[in-house]
Amino acid sequence: IPLGAARLLVTLAVLAEPPRIAGGRPLTAHSGDTAALPCRARGSPAPSISWLLPNGTRLSRSAAGSGRAGVRPDGTLLIRAVSVYDRGLYTCLAENPAGTDSLAVKLQVVAAPPTVLEEKRQSVAGTAGDSLELPCTVRGKPEPSVHWVLPDGTAVRPLQTVRPGVLVFPNGTLLLGGAAPSDSGSYECIATSSTGSDRRVVSLAVRSRDTLPKIASASQELTRLNFGERLLLNCTAMDGNPPPDISWMLPNGTWFPSSGTLTIYNPEGHHAGRYRCAARNQVGYIEKLLLLELAQKPNILTRPAGLVKGVSGETPGNQRAGLLGCRSPSSCVLIFSTFLK
């Protein structure tokens, strides 16, 4: 006996939606930066995202980001420290059971070669004891590294200690603490990256502190010269900073500039007298007095009228025995014996 049949019709609606990726614009990144390539996909169930790299590698979120590239949970592809070799087409793939969508994103990588912002050639003057800062600010993508080369060829990197008093700050500035004249020379700042290099040269002149001129050596204060001898008056080796100008004053009052030795080839009577050797700089003036006595060729001005008795060490009476070998008070040489015969 047929009992009959019952039927139940069930309609199962599976609400599935294939993935759809939104947007997608070309992307430009600076060399050295991290490039982020977004990929936002909709779909139901939520699509899984993976990327196809220009070199054929396929990266998905599950893949442990061992290299420079990785996929973030939101599907964004991150490439660290991009270089021009990372340029190309990156394809984002979104998949779910209902289908697949893909989007190609073009990545452009531009490089900025290193540049030093300060003057390429600069002269810097300092005074002994000063602390001097020589700046070197660098720009570029990828970020350039900076180092200085000291006059003796030593390279110094930021925060490196190569010798006391010399330090390079992280911003590239070179600090010379307590500069000395021996620190004078050429300092070179070099910025380098994978895309090139740039440099600047600072010529540093450190002078000693200003000091008064000093006459370090000179002829003795009194020079006696015989007739016909060549006169050499010395006033050399002047100290002082800045180096002083040296000049001589002759007995007749004339000044003339000279360095060191004063030479007179045939001194005559009028050359005897006071000589002044003077040294002058911005700080001050100093002089030294030198006296020249000259024994001159005897010159008989008057002859004795008769016999003149002369005793050694005494003036020969009131005889008119004016035997003058001098025309200047400082150069009188009287040789009595010659005339008192």
Residues making contact with ligand NAG (CB under 6 A): 53, 55, 57, 67-69, 135, 137, 169, 171, 173, 219, 223, 232-234, 250, 252, 254, 261
Q: What are the start-end ranges of the E strands in 32-144?
A: 35-37, 40-44, 48-52, 58-60, 69-71, 77-79, 88-96, 99-110, 112-116, 121-127, 132-134, 138-141
Q: Provide the 3-class DSSP secondary structure of residue 336.
A: helix
Report the residue number, 141 or 323, with the smaller CB distance to ligand NAG: 141
Of 149, 179, 146, nearest in space to 162 by CA: 149
For residue 96 the two structure tokens come to 């779910």
For ligand NAG, give the closer residue by CB, 207 or 327. Answer: 327
Cβ distance to ligand NAG smaller for residue 173 or 331 = 173
- Say if CB 321 and CB 304 are below 8 A apart: yes
Smallest distance, ligand NAG to C-beta of residue 207, A = 24
Phi/psi for 181 (5° steps) reads -55, -30
DSSP 337: G
* Residue whose CB is nearest to ligand NAG in the complex, by number: 67
| In the complex, least distance from residue 188 CB atom to ligand NAG, rounded to whole angstroms | 17
Q: Least distance from C-beta 285 to ligand NAG, angstroms?
A: 22
Q: What whole-number distance in Å separates Cα of residue 50 and Cα of residue 117? A: 43
Between 41 and 233, whose beta carbon lies closer to ligand NAG?
233
Residue 24 or 54 with smaller CB distance to ligand NAG = 54
Q: Could you say which DSSP state residue 323 is in?
A: B
Beta carbon nearer to ligand NAG, 172 or 244: 172
Question: Which residues have C-beta within 8 Å of that of residue 13, sequence separation ≥ 6?
Answer: none
Which residue's CB is nearer to ligand NAG, number 19 or number 273? Answer: 273
3-state helix, strand, coil in the chain (%, to 5): 5, 45, 50
Ordered alpha helix ranges (H), the chain:
none
Min dist. Cβ of residue 264 to ligand NAG (A)? 8
User: What minimum distance in Å lies between the beta carbon of 317 and ligand NAG?
Assistant: 38
CB of 53 vs ligand NAG, minimal distance in Å? 5
Which residue matches tokens 């050797």? 277
Taking the complex as a whole, the smallest distance from the CB of residue 315 to ligand NAG amounts, in Å, to 32
Report the alpha-carbon distance of residue 41 to residue 258 in Å, rounded: 91
